[in-house]
Amino acid sequence: MTLPFYKYQGTGNDFVIIDNRQLGLKREDVADIRQLCDRRFGIGADGLIYLQEKEGYDFEMVYYNSDGRESTMCGNGGRCIVRFAHDLGLGDEFSFLAVDGPHVGRVLPGGIVSIQMKDVAHTSHRGDHYVLDTGSPHYVKFVQDIQSYPVAKNGNTIRYSDTYRAEGINVNFVEELSRGHIYVRTYERGVEDETYSCGTGVVASAISYFYEKDPGETMIRVKTLGGDLSVKFDLDGPRFTDIWLTGPAVQVFRGETTI
């Protein structure tokens, strides 16, 4: 079949997005999804997203990693699908359902998109790193000289360690640039390499930074390889609530392919 598609990116984290409201594509088409995401033999992307109808919501987000498997929440993918819905003429603010539950997304002036992430009730500090779930599981470690740090090598070692091999984990390396400003680089499971940005990883890193450095503010600026984001949250005892991930999300191109 001939398949219309759209390519979006949010701080370099790129996605093929398909309007599946009328197409009826099935969630089991793993080989086709892997093919579409292949950077040499397909369109090329970190993941693929379906926008589809869901009763009680403006739409449902169904997300697949580039390995073709349906995955946990993707923060930058969430921002991109909100921008996509806006570009389809569906509005400026949306309530949508993802694999980790309901979200709210807003398109702001200047191509900036903000989405509300799930609350984080528990952050585990394990020696030299943190482990927490921000819609996807994350390992966060603070390092020095992050620009020359071997992210892919060390991230792969942690992701395939005995502790995390079975379920997998996303691995973030973080350096403080200045008070309230961090640099995050992420190795993503499912992509199995470093990506230019990871939304849930940025949120996990900002929360871990708040624990690690106590910057005295609840809005953290974040630099990634693909650009700048921000994370804002409220505190309710040990819980992080009303978490917002904000940054640019833009359409790169659109086209048709055959599957």
pLDDT tens digits, residue range 96-137? 999 999 999 999 999 999 999 999 999 999 889 999 999 999
Range of the domain at 20: 2-110+249-258
Determine the number of helices (DSSP H) and then strands (DSSP E) in the chain: 4, 17
Name the catalytic one among 51, 62, 74, 146. 74
190 falls in which pLDDT band (50, 70, 90)? very high
Residue with tokens 């701080």: 11
Residue 54 located in a structural domain = yes
pLDDT tens, position by position, 12-36: 999 999 999 999 887 766 678 899 9
194 falls in which pLDDT band (50, 70, 90)? very high
pLDDT attached to residue 25: 85
Task: For residues 196 and 253, state if they share a domain.
Answer: no
Distance CA 123, CA 109 (A): 33
Task: For residues 132 and 41, state if they share a domain.
Answer: no
Mean pLDDT, to the nearest integer, of 139-157?
A: 98
The answer on pLDDT for 216 being more than 70 is yes
In degrees and rounded to multiples of 5, residue 237 shows phi and psi of 65, -125
Residue 105 located in a structural domain = yes
Task: For residues 75 and 156, state if they share a domain.
Answer: no
Mean pLDDT, to the nearest integer, of 248-255?
A: 98
The answer on pLDDT for 173 being more than 70 is yes
Residue 116 located in a structural domain = no
pLDDT attached to residue 26: 79
Name the catalytic one among 174, 198, 231, 245. 198
pLDDT attached to residue 28: 66
Question: For the chain, what is the domain count?
Answer: 2
Q: Is residue 55 helix, strand or coil?
A: coil
Task: For residues 96 and 173, state if they share a domain.
Answer: no
pLDDT attached to residue 31: 75
Task: For residues 131 and 235, state if they share a domain.
Answer: yes
Task: For residues 128 and 68, state if they share a domain.
Answer: no
Token pair listed for 103: 């979200």
**Contacts from 62-66 at CB under 8 Å and sequence distance 24+?**
62/20, 62/27, 62/99, 63/98, 63/99, 64/33, 64/37, 65/188, 65/189, 65/190, 65/191, 66/34, 66/37, 66/38, 66/190, 66/191
Q: Is 37 a catalytic residue?
A: no
**Beta carbons of 132 and 204 less than 8 angstroms apart:** yes
pLDDT attached to residue 52: 96
pLDDT tens, position by position, 34-79: 999 999 999 999 999 999 999 999 999 999 999 998 999 999 999 9
Task: For residues 64 and 146, state if they share a domain.
Answer: no
Residue 115 located in a structural domain = no
252 exposure class (CB count in 10 Å sphere: 0-12, 13-18, 19+): exposed
pLDDT tens, position by position, 218-232: 999 999 999 999 999
Tell me how far the alpha carbon of residue 139 is from its chain's centroid: 14
Residue 66 located in a structural domain = yes
Residue 117 located in a structural domain = no
**Beta carbons of 184 and 173 less than 8 angstroms apart:** yes
Q: Is 74 a catalytic residue?
A: yes
Percent of the chain with pLDDT over 90: 90
pLDDT attached to residue 133: 97
**Beta carbons of 103 and 115 less than 8 angstroms apart:** yes
Please compute, for residue 24, the number of CA atoms within 13 A of its CA located in the half-sphere on the CB side: 1
Q: What is the CATH number of the domain that holds 28?
A: 3.10.310.10
pLDDT attached to residue 186: 98
**Beta carbons of 38 and 45 less than 8 angstroms apart:** no
User: What is the reported pTM?
Assistant: 0.95
